[in-house]
């Protein structure tokens, strides 16, 4: 990555003026030189161009999207394997808990944002399918006096095994969606899935179109989290639920130290050995530290217009599920 | 006007560059960016990370021999003492010192392929090209050094990697598993790098019994003999010797021709 040099310059010089020096010194940097032509007026009046964090680096907001895209493009093929190794399989429990908390009923329209490889979507489909079957069985049991013709009709009709449920998997990254689609085929999920390429900050959906919006381990990679939350609010139907599964801050100091040690010493090594990519996994663990803590994120969700916002810490705060309603 | 201010700011900034870690860094967090990058692609690592990397790389390289990057990582994380010794050896030799000074790189962009093609048959350049063609390899597949925490040593290991193909040419070994193990034995004796020693000792695990027989009876003794006889191969300025006939270079280094044609094995 060409960015390392520039971040040194950002950190040591607070003023916006130094930006120009940072970028011009990097070989092969793509940025042109707008500042040189602005003259002295630019020194005092120039608004500091928007900067944000990319892990522990500081980059411009425009760059962050591209860099995050590259990270996920690189990790897509080994994403699931790495998740299993890094979390020792615990991520499966976290995702199961999310679906259990959601308790979707057949007929739910779910938007799974940053759903990439489809973990949440497939769990949702299995859950609603099981719920639907349970309901049908319950219904059959109560209907004691059906004639055999009616029973035969029930078996013959092309029943939708999902009861009208649909999950739209939306992700900004093509590679992640490709992996997800392949997984769907491998696991036999044929119905109830829609795959959409889209940006969380600007969703390609109409207002009030989904019952539930989930984003699992995706929102910390979004450049403008508040915009993503506003979009979530927009596309949910009134009464709809927002659910976010994301890494949080650990309160317990001992666990926090162990967690830090594991994150920074071990995870990039695993990334290098298994996936041949140190830097992507370095970014992933750094981005967790940069994400607001559970309380701050709760406030951000409330700012976007959600109500009854709560959060639940899992695994001593390593992960948290935030929930809010559009009322 | 803007450019004057800019130049002044550049000069000022160079003197202000911080030597300390940024406040965000906690001792447990080894950042991979910041003021302590010694060369592009450098990833600073703590001793714990180096140990984990070495162990993981060794395991992965054995599990999947096609992961050449793991062999490279193993070399970088385990080689710090040996690299210092090699660097000192290079400094003592005049040709080696010249290499350290000029830092030549063997890559497709630095090689003049048409010139090499025009050289007479039997010269080092032609034989090297022939080797690249037959084995379908390219000098650009060498991963850049990342985990060595010294800039000169990073070059030494990079040079070692790029010279590896030259060794294949000199020893006449193909790039299949058997040929690689033989070259590793030669390199282990020559350089003493822990990665070469480990590769030499554990590489044969992945070979067939037939190849193992040839390996232990003929190839390894031959490789060890040549390795001891030849001067340090890192001290040869190959880029200046393209025209030299291969047989002459072999004589100079004391490398005898390979004992058996092993293309069909491994």
Domain boundaries defined on chain B: 47-253
Could you tell me which of A261, A289, A326, A285 has the C-alpha nearest to residue A75? A285
DSSP state of B137: -
Domain A68-326 matching CATH 3.40.50.150: the answer reads yes
Residue carrying the six token digits 């939350």: A229
Q: Give the pLDDT score at B210.
A: 79
- What is the distance in angstroms between the Cα of A227 and the nearest Cα belonging to chain B? 27
CA torsion angle for A221, A58, A286, A280 (degrees, to 10)? 70
Given a cut of 50, whether residue A13 has pLDDT beyond it is: no
Q: Give the pLDDT score at B6.
A: 55
By Cβ distance, the residue of B24, B33, B56 closest to A269 is: B56
Cross-chain Cβ contact A279/B43 below 8 Å: yes
Say if strands A210-216 and A319-325 run parallel, antiparallel, or are unpaired: unpaired
Given a cut of 50, whether residue B239 has pLDDT beyond it is: yes
Best of B6, B7, B33 to disrupt the A interface (most A CBs within 10 Å) is B33
Q: Inter-axis angle of helices A61-75 and A174-187, to 10 degrees?
A: 30
Q: Give the pLDDT score at B134.
A: 85
For the stretch A197-243, pLDDT in tens is 999 999 999 999 999 999 999 999 999 999 999 999 999 999 999 99
Contact between A198 and A213 under an 8 Å Cβ cutoff? The reply is no
Contact between A274 and A78 under an 8 Å Cβ cutoff? The reply is yes
Question: Within an 8 Å CB–CB cutoff, is residue B49 touching chain A?
Answer: yes
Contact between A235 and A135 under an 8 Å Cβ cutoff? The reply is no
Report, as an integer, the average pLDDT of A36-44: 49
For chain A positions 161-190, those within 8 Å of chain B (CB to CB) are: none
Domain range list for chain A: 68-326
Q: Give the pLDDT score at B24.
A: 39
In what helix (H) or strand (E) does residue B15 lie, and over which residues does it extend? helix B2-16
Contact between A95 and A132 under an 8 Å Cβ cutoff? The reply is no
For the stretch B64-114, pLDDT in tens is 888 888 989 999 999 889 999 999 989 999 988 998 998 888 877 777 788
The encoded tokens of residue A44 equal 């005092």
The encoded tokens of residue B68 equal 């050449």
Residue of chain B whose Cα is closest to the Cα of A262: B28
For the stretch B163-183, pLDDT in tens is 888 888 888 888 888 888 889
pTM: 0.77
Given a cut of 50, whether residue A10 has pLDDT beyond it is: no
Report, as an integer, the average pLDDT of A9-35: 42
Say if strands A193-197 and A236-247 run parallel, antiparallel, or are unpaired: unpaired
Contact between B57 and A276 under an 8 Å Cβ cutoff? The reply is no
């Amino acid at each position: 990555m060409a960015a390392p040099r520039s971040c040194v310059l950002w950190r040591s010089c607070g003023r916006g003026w130094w930006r120009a020096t940072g970028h011009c010194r990097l070989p092969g940097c793509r940025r042109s030189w707008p500042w040189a032509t602005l003259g002295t007026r630019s020194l005092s009046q120039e608004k500091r161009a928007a900067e944000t964090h990319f892990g522990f680096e500081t980059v411009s907001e425009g760059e962050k999207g591209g860099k995050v895209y590259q990270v996920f493009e690189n990790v897509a093929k080994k994403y699931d394997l790495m998740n299993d190794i890094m979390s020792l399989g615990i991520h499966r429990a976290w995702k199961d808990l999310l679906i259990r908390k959601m308790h979707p009923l057949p007929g739910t329209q779910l938007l799974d944002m940053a759903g990439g490889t489809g973990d949440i979507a497939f769990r949702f489909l299995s859950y609603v399918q099981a719920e639907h079957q349970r309901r049908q069985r319950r219904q059959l049991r109560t209907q004691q006096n059906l004639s055999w013709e009616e029973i035969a009709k029930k078996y013959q009709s092309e029943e939708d095994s999902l009861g009208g449920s649909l999950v739209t998997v939306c992700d900004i990254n093509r590679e992640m969606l490709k992996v997800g689609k392949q997984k769907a085929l491998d696991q036999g999920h044929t119905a109830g899935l829609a795959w959409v390429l889209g940006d969380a900050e600007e969703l390609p959906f109409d207002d009030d179109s989904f019952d539930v919006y989930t984003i699992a381990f995706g929102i910390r990679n979004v450049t403008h989290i508040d915009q993503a939350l506003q979009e979530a609010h927009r596309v949910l139907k009134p009464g709809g639920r927002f659910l976010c599964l994301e890494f949080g801050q650990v309160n317990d100091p001992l666990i926090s130290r162990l967690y830090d040690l594991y994150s920074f010493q071990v995870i990039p090594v695993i990334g290098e050995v298994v996936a041949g990519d140190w830097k992507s996994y370095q970014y992933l663990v750094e981005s967790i530290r940069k994400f607001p803590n559970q309380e701050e994120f709760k406030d951000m969700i409330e700012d976007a217009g959600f109500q009854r916002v709560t959060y639940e810490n899992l695994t001593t705060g390593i992960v948290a599920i935030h929930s809010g309603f559009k009322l | 006007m803007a450019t004057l201010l800019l130049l002044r700011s550049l000069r000022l900034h160079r003197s202000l560059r911080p030597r300390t870690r940024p406040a965000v860094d906690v001792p447990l967090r080894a950042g991979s960016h910041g003021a302590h990058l010694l060369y592009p692609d450098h990833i600073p690592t703590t001793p714990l990370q180096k140990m984990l990397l070495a162990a993981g790389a060794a395991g992965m390289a054995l599990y999947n021999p096609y992961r050449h990057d793991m062999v490279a990582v193993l070399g970088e994380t385990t080689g710090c003492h040996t690299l210092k010794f090699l660097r000192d050896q290079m400094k003592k030799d005049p040709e080696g010192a010249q290499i350290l000074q000029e830092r030549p790189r063997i890559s497709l962009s630095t090689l003049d392929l048409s010139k090499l093609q025009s050289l007479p048959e039997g010269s080092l350049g032609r034989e090297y090209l022939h080797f690249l063609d037959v084995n379908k390899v390219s000098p650009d597949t060498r991963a850049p050094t990342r985990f060595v925490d010294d800039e000169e040593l990073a070059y030494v290991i990079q040079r070692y990697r790029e010279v590896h193909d030259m060794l294949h040419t000199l020893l006449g070994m193909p790039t299949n598993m058997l040929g690689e193990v033989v070259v590793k034995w030669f390199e282990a004796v020559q350089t003493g790098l822990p990665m070469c020693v480990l590769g030499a000792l554990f590489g044969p695990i992945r070979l067939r019994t037939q190849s193992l027989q040839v390996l232990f009876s003929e190839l390894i003794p031959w490789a060890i003999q040549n390795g001891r006889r030849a001067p340090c191969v890192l001290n040869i300025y190959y880029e200046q010797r393209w025209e030299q006939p291969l047989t002459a270079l072999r004589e100079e280094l004391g490398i005898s021709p390979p004992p058996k044609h092993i293309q069909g094995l491994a």
